[in-house]
Amino acid sequence: MAQKISYTFVEAAEMTGYSERTIRQQVTDGNLAARYANSKGVIRHEDLAEWIDSLPAESPRA
């Protein structure tokens, strides 16, 4: 099966284990890039992976 090139916000949340609200907030904050066709937002696979890679490697509580 071919790799998807983009995900809806719901799919991005499912793929990462974060909530849709977190994904949308990260887009709003400018930390995660989204692309829009009309009003439907999608997140490119590469941008989602880059965002995950940018997260801290250790818990802030550690």
Question: What pLDDT is attached to residue 3?
Answer: 85
Domains, the chain: 6-54 (1.10.10)
8 Å CB contact between 22 and 14: no
Going by C-alpha positions, the residue among 47, 4, 5, 40 that lies closest to residue 26 is 47
Rounded CA-CA distance 39/54 in Å is: 27
Cα–Cα distance for residue pair 46/52, rounded to 1 Å = 10
pLDDT digits 0-9 by tens, 32-58 = 999 999 999 999 999 999 999 999 999
